[in-house]
Amino acid sequence: IATPVGGVLDVLNDGVNGKIIPINNADALVKAIEELMQNSEQVSRMAQLARSKIETEFTLKRELNTNLRIYQTLLQLDDSKIP
């Protein structure tokens, strides 16, 4: 259960590998907790899918390659385009 802040939406898909609730909404949090407490199979499935996504999409190699591409792009910019 998470709110849509920071990189949460990069990792979690509501109802698939997690539960997204609105920010500052205690009622939604209570409802999400109650729903998940009633369905342990759904929780297990979400947990497995969340772990699988992290292991496949957020590997060290992939993150390093992403950062490398960003740095390479920045190095190619004309100094006049840098604030």
pLDDT at 65 over 90: yes
Count of other CB atoms within 10 angstroms of residue 29:
15
- Continuous H helices in the chain: 8-11, 26-37, 40-57, 60-76
- N- to C-terminal Cα separation, the chain: 38
The pLDDT tens digits for 23-53 are 999 999 999 999 999 999 999 999 999 999 9
How would residue 55 be classed by pLDDT, with cut points 50, 70 and 90? very high
The mean predicted confidence, pLDDT, of the chain is: 93
Whether pTM > 0.85 for this model: the answer is: no
Cα 3 to Cα 36: distance, rounded to the nearest angstrom: 16
pLDDT at 71 over 80: yes
Cα 12 to Cα 1: distance, rounded to the nearest angstrom: 9
- Give the pLDDT of residue 2: 98
